[in-house]
């Protein structure tokens, strides 16, 4: 299991700025890494994924970077908007289509 504290890390950004959310993963055998967004009172929603044989993938306003050497994943959000305020989770896909989630990062967007 992972060691986590009682409080999630928080990233505060100004509206219009770019956001970078980081995540460390543990399983080198994972074939997919996925980012989810969770708004208050709702279930997690898929944002973007990246296959383990890639190092970068772009979506609409989002980019995911994968560094397998240091087992690090990041999510970049361009021109952050108030609607991007949420908790962001990285997840790694393991055997049996199970996802193992990180603890999450709170993104707060200041207007």
- 10 Å Cβ neighbour count for 105? 19
Answer for which of 21, 34, 75, 107 binds another protein (CB under 8 A) is 34
Q: Tell which residue, 42, 21, 15, has the closest CA to residue 91.
A: 21
From its phi and psi, is residue 83 left (phi > 0), alpha (psi between -120 and 50) or beta? alpha
102 makes contact with another protein (CB under 8 A):
yes
- Site map 70..89 versus another protein, x via CB under 8 A: -------------------x
- Least distance between another protein and beta carbon 17 (Å): 26
101 makes contact with another protein (CB under 8 A):
yes
């Amino acid at each position: 299991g992972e060691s986590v504290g009682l409080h999630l890390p928080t990233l505060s950004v100004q509206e219009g700025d770019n956001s970078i959310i980081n995540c460390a993963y543990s399983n080198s055998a994972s074939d997919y890494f996925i980012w989810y967004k969770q708004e208050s009172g709702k279930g997690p929603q898929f944002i973007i994924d990246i296959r383990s044989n890639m190092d970068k993938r772009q979506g609409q306003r989002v980019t995911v970077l994968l560094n397998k050497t240091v087992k690090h994943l990041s999510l970049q959000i361009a021109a952050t908007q108030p609607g991007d305020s949420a908790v962001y989770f990285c997840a790694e896909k393991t055997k049996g289509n199970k996802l193992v989630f990180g603890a999450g990062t709170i993104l707060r967007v200041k207007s």
